[in-house]
Amino acid sequence: MSTEKTLILIKPDGIRRGLVGEVISRIESKGYLIEALRMLNADRALLEKHYAEHVGKPFYEPLVEFMMSGPIIVIVASGERVIEGFRSLAGVTDPTLAVPGTIRGDLARDQGTKVVQNIVHGSDSPESAAREIAIFFPK
């Protein structure tokens, strides 16, 4: 059985605030392996694929605008149960409620914006991980 993989994004707020090293350090310190990493400016078409499940929600357009507001870093990390493990490292979606000790709990807060700015994305299931990795790292 091959080791599980997940797709992690460091969002534009994470880059603007100089938290790239901190986020990568937390992934590595936990013991996950960085398998691939690239920086890019995501366009609308790419984000529409990545966030397909959220199309039509009130925060969808602000989310896309936010994700296009600067470069992002795309990471594939691997390890046993890395999908749930990284979600645990990241903390819950709302940074106000994310537990201290997590990336979102320690490093983000409510900015009063229409979309929550919470530093990182992590795949939420094996199906999402496979789909998202294929979007950002097409064969």
Amino acid at 116: V
Q: Does 118 bind ligand DAT (CB under 6 A)?
A: yes
Among 3, 25, 41, 93, binds ligand DAT (CB under 6 A): 93
- Give the nearest distance from C-beta 1 to ligand DAT in angstroms: 26
Q: Does 123 bind ligand DAT (CB under 6 A)?
A: no
Q: Does 124 bind ligand DAT (CB under 6 A)?
A: yes
- Is 41 or 93 the residue whose CB approaches ligand DAT more closely? 93
Torsion of CA 89, 94, 99, 104, to 10 degrees: 50
Which residue's Cβ has the minimum distance to ligand DAT?
93
DSSP H or E run through 120: strand 120-122
Helix (H, G, I), strand (E, B) or coil at 7: strand
- Is 1 or 32 the residue whose CB approaches ligand DAT more closely? 32
Binding mask 49-88 vs ligand DAT (x if CB under 6 A, - otherwise)?
Answer: -----x----x---x-------------------------
| Residues annotated as catalytic (active site), given as ranges | 121
Q: How far is CA 138 from CA 87, 130, 131, in A?
A: 23, 11, 10
Residue ranges of the alpha helices (H) in the chain? 12-16, 20-30, 44-50, 60-67, 82-90, 103-107, 126-136
Binding site for ligand DAT (CB under 6 A): 54, 59, 63, 93, 115-116, 118, 121, 124
